[in-house]
Amino acid sequence: MQIKHFLDTQDFTADEIHDILDLIRVLKDADKARCLPLLLDGASLGMIFEEPSTRTRVSFEVAMTKLGGHALYLKPGEIHLGERESLADTARVLSRMCDILMARTLKHETMLELAKYATVPVLNGLTDYNHPTQVVCDVFTMQEHIPAGKKLNDLNVTFVGDATNVLSSLMHICTQLGMNFVHAAPRAYQPPKPWIEIAEENCRKSGGTLHITDNMDQAVSKADFIYTDLWWWVGQENEIPDRRNAFMPNFQVTSRLLNKAPSHVKLMHCLPASRNVEATDEVLDSDQSIIFDQAENRLHTQKALLVKFLYPLLKNPDHQERIVWENTCREMAEKH
């Protein structure tokens, strides 16, 4: 069977994304019932991290364990990731020892090169361009909290904040699935033209809509979900004063802002949050907040992605073949 990577939701059709969402639901329900089958029994996941993460590391490691497999945490200083060994060789070596790889890299080009040379599936755990595992989780979370009488392609999703890797991914998956997507930010922090062109093409195919504005009242007036994220990224620390001045106070998510949205609106944040910066404690901890549902759903999403991209590749020997090999291995162990 052909190896498939999960690098960008744009590599998949809307139907394929819906299939992943359905798989998340089944595996979450099975997990809650403590009936999750060990679909990846004996398999290994290599987790490459160029920067630390709470949710990405824990969700993938726990997901692999729950499915009967094993996860290895690999970080710079412990492996030769582009230092003393080419990325291509690292990808080739890890592919011989692991059944699937997940990477969280600072540059998107690093992810693409790993996938180019890997001979096992590669899952994108975040780059400076996108965060596809996060936004699949986000859409699943929206499904769980969908307003009564609405379908997924009826939803109005408003992202408030900088043009981050989460914004690019969320804008693209929402427009792929026919949703109405709004980005609200100061003009200097709105998305670049190539991102917009991808979303606009998605809208032409799906019937979704895209609107980019610096008018906050307009941005949230129909929102079913308001999503916010950090105002600066790795390497932008010297820009923090300018960014604070640009976003504060008009683009901070407060209870006053939520009150301008429909009463059923839910607040989302991928975390970690800079509390009382992009959003106040009052709203992050309110009944309208579903940020910790999002965090939990990272686990169930990772289970689905691991199963989707690895399970079809695993050999599942029949009972007789397993017995033959077990007996052979025992005989050899006893002899030596």
Does the active-site annotation cover 34?
no
Does the active-site annotation cover 322?
no
CA dist., res. 290 & res. 284, Å (int): 8
Catalytic residue among 104, 172, 243, 300: 104
Does the active-site annotation cover 35?
no
Provide the terminal-to-terminal Cα distance of the chain, rounded to the nearest Å.
Answer: 37
Does the active-site annotation cover 298?
yes
Catalytic residue among 55, 269, 298, 300: 298
Question: How far is C-alpha 184 from the geometric centre of its chain's CA atoms?
Answer: 21
CA dist., res. 196 & res. 203, Å (int): 10
Catalytic residue among 5, 99, 134, 243: 134
Catalytic residue among 99, 128, 138, 229: 229
Question: How far is C-alpha 266 from the geometric centre of its chain's CA atoms?
Answer: 19
Are 6 and 123 contacting, i.e. CB atoms less than 8 angstroms apart? yes
Does the active-site annotation cover 92?
no
Does the active-site annotation cover 99?
no
What are the residue ranges of helices labelled H in the chain?
14-32, 55-66, 87-97, 108-117, 132-144, 165-176, 193-206, 216-220, 240-247, 255-258, 281-284, 291-310, 319-335
Catalytic residue among 131, 183, 243, 300: 131
Amino acid at 192: P
Catalytic residue among 55, 270, 294, 300: 270
Catalytic residues: 104, 131, 134, 229, 270, 298
